[in-house]
């Protein structure tokens, strides 16, 4: 269906703003219940939403640092169903039933988690290899060269087939399967070949590069064919959809309908749509007790010497796409350009180590450590460290406390599908102050023109925007934050899921169509 944008007639009275159309957990639950009837939703991803670990002989659980989990877990808690994912925790096998299922969240069960087991070799080839050394650098244009190893590709195919078997065991007739991310590009094709009755939707959480970049992949044809088995394929932004349409037009005999943003290949049509992902904005911090957050804010300030006039924060997985060295270089440049800020600003770089078996990740980590040491030696003093590095898994309470003490959050990704840290920060600033320095190469930048937008490759420019964010008079800063907050409260995670699921669940029965 097309939206009609009609110009207002000249001299028309100003239109009354339409009432804000709010999407809530209940609204998504009702949508799914209405359309799926008794059927239930099956979500599939590599990363599992809850990980069980053995620690000091006891079993504990945690929620991994993952944008995908942040986004999809609230949806599954609202609608129920089954989430199929790789069981990666050291105690994962200990808590499941004989079919590999456990109810989650562990403290308030709402849906079933069905775990898929992988061997060490499979994990190395499929996850570390093909997903994260081939597709990840291929899709993020950050000048880290993708590797193409046939063995990884073989294991990627084998693991997609494992996931397919698990879905087929779980899926009742005419089920709707919602696949997530680049680890499972072949799964839609396998599913449709085995069970044409399934409706399959897929959300790709990372950018899709230009066809010039994508076509170097020796297995591009199989990947594109796998994705064209989907009924609906979602990206964060229209630009990624267009790149995908270009890639399929170049490589395959397809019919692309740009008006409908639909591709027909071998008689099957895939709708390719932008669905900008978001966060459960109203609930950010709601799972933390206010007194715990307040205590944590005091602890962070005292323990890390953060009692400064201003605090700027970076919070990321330690990934080379996040532009952390560039951010640190910009902070260093900031102290050179604005020496009056020495001793007055503390910059906290927090986050979790990630994919550290991959050489490019280890090398970015070494560079981060080196830069932090260098900046602190060059600019610090006896009682002031300009940069504080917190490389640890932070609790929800600690993350919320960091958002609350951050006068400014810096997101300097070199390329990023969306960036949910930016959205979480805005959602957490309930008292209405704060500033967001945001890379123009994130999906979030399209929705947040009121952020202090930067090009992370331009160090002087980033330093200047950081200075502007820190010195802008409070009324203007609050006005900008108010706009950002409006956006994130309206375009929340339920709107994202509602749009994607509504598109998938409205489709005619696949068997009747084919
Ligand atoms: O950003 C892409 C993505 O796969 C997210 O969807 C996910 O949250 C993040 O990377 C973390 O990756 P991993 O599951 O490898 O830790």
Reported as a single tens digit per residue, the pLDDT across 414-472 is 999 999 999 999 999 999 999 999 999 999 999 999 999 999 999 999 999 999 999 99
pLDDT of 5 over the 70 cut: no
Query: In this structure, what token pair is assigned to residue 235?
Result: 């990206």
SS3 content of the chain, % helix, strand, coil (to 5): 45, 20, 35
Q: What pLDDT shows up at residue 512?
A: 59
* Residue of minimum CA distance from atom 6 in ligand 1: 68
* Residue of minimum CA distance from atom 12 in ligand 1: 66
Tell me how far apart the alpha carbons of residues 442 and 460 are, in angstroms, rounded to a whole number. Answer: 19
pLDDT of 125 over the 80 cut: yes
- Average pLDDT of the segment spanning 288-311: 92
Compute, in angstroms, the gap from residue 267 CA to the centroid of ligand 1: 33
Compute, in angstroms, the gap from residue 206 CA to the centroid of ligand 1: 9
Q: Parallel, antiparallel, or unpaired: how do β-strands 435-439 and 452-454 relate?
A: parallel
pLDDT of 8 over the 70 cut: no
Q: Does ligand 1 have an atom closer than 6 angstroms to the CB of 205? A: yes
Q: What pLDDT shows up at residue 19?
A: 53
Please give the C-alpha separations between residue 256 and each of 189, 202, 241, 271, in angstroms, as whole numbers.
Answer: 19, 18, 12, 10
DSSP 358: S
Summarised one tens digit per residue, pLDDT across range 145-184 is: 999 999 999 999 999 999 999 999 999 998 999 999 999 9
- Specify whether the CB–CB gap between 53 and 89 falls below 8 A: yes
**Beta strands per DSSP E along 262-366:** 262-265, 268-274, 310-318, 345-353
Confidence of residue 307 (pLDDT cuts 50, 70, 90): confident
The minimum-distance atom of ligand 1 relative to the CA of 183 is 4
| Residue 377, C-beta contacts closer than 8 angstroms, at least 6 positions apart | none
What is the DSSP track for 197-234? TSEEEEE--S----HHHHTT-TTHHHHHHHHTT-SEEE
First to last CA, the chain: 21
* Residue of minimum CA distance from atom 10 in ligand 1: 66
Summarised one tens digit per residue, pLDDT across range 188-198 is: 999 999 999 99
Mean pLDDT over each residue of the chain, to the nearest integer: 93
Q: Does ligand 1 have an atom closer than 6 angstroms to the CB of 67? A: yes
Compute, in angstroms, the gap from residue 66 CA to the centroid of ligand 1: 5
- In 235-282, alpha helices (H): 238-251
Compute, in angstroms, the gap from residue 317 CA to the centroid of ligand 1: 9
Q: Does ligand 1 have an atom closer than 6 angstroms to the CB of 73? A: no
Site to substitute for ligand 1 among 47, 320, 411, 442, most atoms within 8 A of C-beta: 47
- Specify whether the CB–CB gap between 500 and 282 falls below 8 A: no
Q: Does ligand 1 have an atom closer than 6 angstroms to the CB of 419? A: no
pTM attached to this predicted model: 0.93
| Exposure class string for 249-262: b at 16+ Cβ within 10 A, else e | eebbebebeeeebb
* Residue of minimum CA distance from atom 11 in ligand 1: 66
Q: Does ligand 1 have an atom closer than 6 angstroms to the CB of 66? A: yes
Q: Does ligand 1 have an atom closer than 6 angstroms to the CB of 278? A: no
Q: What pLDDT shows up at residue 23?
A: 94
Confidence of residue 392 (pLDDT cuts 50, 70, 90): confident
Q: What pLDDT shows up at residue 511?
A: 64
Compute, in angstroms, the gap from residue 223 CA to the centroid of ligand 1: 19
Q: Does ligand 1 have an atom closer than 6 angstroms to the CB of 181? A: yes
- Average pLDDT of the segment spanning 20-37: 90
Count of Cβ atoms closer than 10 Å to residue 34 Cβ = 9
Please give the C-alpha separations between residue 360 and each of 143, 356, 377, 379, in angstroms, as whole numbers.
Answer: 11, 8, 26, 28
Least confident of 35-44, 126-135, 255-264, 346-355: 35-44
Residue in 143, 135, 146 with CA at minimum distance from that of residue 222: 135
CA contacts within 13 A on the Cβ side of 173: 2
Least confident of 54-58, 157-161, 234-238, 452-456: 54-58
The larger pLDDT score, comparing residue 11 to residue 461, is at 461
Compute, in angstroms, the gap from residue 64 CA to the centroid of ligand 1: 10
Query: Percentage of residues in the chain with pLDDT exceeding 70?
Result: 95
Please give the C-alpha separations between residue 56 and each of 53, 59, 60, 91, in angstroms, as whole numbers.
Answer: 10, 8, 10, 12
* Residue of minimum CA distance from atom 16 in ligand 1: 66
pLDDT of 10 over the 50 cut: no
Site to substitute for ligand 1 among 67, 131, 138, 185, most atoms within 8 A of C-beta: 67
The minimum-distance atom of ligand 1 relative to the CA of 317 is 11
């Amino acid at each position: 269906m097309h939206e009609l944008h009609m110009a207002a007639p000249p001299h028309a009275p100003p239109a009354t703003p339409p009432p804000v159309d709010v999407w809530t957990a209940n609204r998504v639950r009702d949508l799914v219940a209405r359309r799926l009837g008794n059927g239930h939703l099956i979500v599939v991803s590599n990363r599992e939403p809850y990980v069980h670990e053995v620690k000091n002989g006891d079993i504990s659980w945690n929620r991994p640092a993952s944008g995908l989990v942040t986004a999809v877990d609230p949806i599954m808690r609202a609608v129920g169903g089954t989430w199929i994912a790789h069981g990666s925790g050291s105690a994962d096998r200990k808590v499941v039933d004989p079919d590999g299922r456990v109810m989650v969240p562990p403290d308030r069960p709402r849906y079933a988690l069905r775990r898929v087991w992988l061997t060490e070799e499979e994990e190395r080839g499929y996850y570390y290899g093909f997903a994260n050394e081939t597709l990840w650098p291929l899709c993020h244009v950050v000048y880290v060269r993708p590797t193409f190893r046939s063995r990884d590709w073989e294991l990627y195919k084998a693991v997609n087939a494992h996931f397919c078997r698990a879905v087929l065991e779980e899926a009742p007739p005419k089920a709707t399967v919602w696949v997530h991310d680049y680890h499972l590009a072949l799964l839609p094709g396998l599913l449709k070949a085995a069970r044409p009755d399934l409706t399959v939707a897929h959300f790709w959480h990372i950018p899709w590069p230009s066809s010039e970049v994508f076509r170097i992949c020796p297995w591009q044809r199989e990947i594109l064919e796998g994705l064209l088995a989907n009924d609906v394929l979602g990206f964060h932004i229209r630009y990624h959809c267009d790149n995908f349409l270009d890639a399929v037009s170049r490589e395959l005999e397809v019919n692309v309908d740009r008006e409908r943003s639909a591709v027909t290949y071998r008689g099957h049509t895939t709708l390719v749509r932008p669905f900008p992902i978001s966060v459960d904005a109203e609930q950010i911090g709601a799972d933390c007790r206010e007194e715990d957050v307040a205590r944590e804010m005091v602890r962070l300030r005292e323990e890390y010497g953060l009692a400064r006039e201003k605090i700027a924060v970076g919070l990321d997985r330690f990934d080379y796409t996040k532009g952390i060295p560039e951010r640190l270089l910009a902070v260093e440049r900031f102290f050179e350009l604005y020496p009056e800020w020495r001793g007055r600003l503390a910059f906290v770089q927090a986050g979790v180590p990630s994919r550290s078996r991959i050489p490019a990740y280890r090398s970015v980590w070494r560079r981060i450590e080196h830069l932090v040491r260098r900046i602190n030696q060059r600019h610090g003093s006896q009682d002031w460290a300009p940069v504080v590095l917190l490389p640890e898994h932070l609790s929800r309470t600690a993350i919320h406390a960091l958002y609350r003490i951050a006068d400014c959050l810096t997101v300097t990704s070199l390329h990023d599908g969306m960036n949910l840290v930016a959205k979480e920060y805005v959602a957490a600033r309930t008292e209405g102050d704060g500033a967001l320095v945001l890379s123009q190469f994130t999906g979030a930048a399209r929705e947040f023109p009121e952020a202090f937008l930067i090009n992370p490759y331009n160090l002087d420019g980033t330093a200047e925007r950081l200075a502007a964010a820190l010195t802008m008079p409070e009324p203007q800063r609050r006005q900008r934050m108010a706009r950002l907050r409006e956006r994130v409260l309206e375009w929340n995670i339920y709107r994202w899921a509602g749009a994607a699921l509504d598109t998938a669940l409205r489709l005619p029965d696949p068997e009747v169509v084919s």
